[in-house]
Structure 1
Amino acid sequence: MLKELIINENKYITGRTLHCLTNLKSLSLVSNELIDNKTLREMTNLTKLEFSGDNVCNDTLIQLTKN
């Protein structure tokens, strides 16, 4: 069972793929353009999220802290 995922310079993994990873606890996104905020909001088991860039919005971060 996958618990941690690190994605560097993502060009292929989409939000639809991550919807299947419901047990994921840790996610690192670097240079990500394909994983959207809606996908992150639905990842309710995340205990650690790291990202760089500007494609994660404030509303998404607020929603994740409520989970």
Structure 2
Amino acid sequence: MPDNEPLLTYAQVGEIIGFSAGVVAGMMRRGELARVVLSPRKHRIIPADLRAFIAARRQNSNLAWAAVVSR
């Protein structure tokens, strides 16, 4: 992790991906997104982990359409 990249709060992650902080917290509890536990009530997300989460869920609509057409 680059030194100039601060850890993100649930609210910041929610703003980036368009969810509430509560939804982000639920994603953390379910293990869908990694978190850094600084204390029992202070959790943060590493920006690189958020990027990996987004990349893993990215879908290319052209590829999906090609799969349907090739059937």
Q: TM (normalized to structure 2)?
A: 0.22
Higher RCO, 1 or 2 (CA under 8 Å, sep at least 6)? 1
Which of the two has greater strand per residue?
Answer: 1
Return the structure number with greater helix share: 2
TM-score normalised by the chain length of structure 1:
0.22
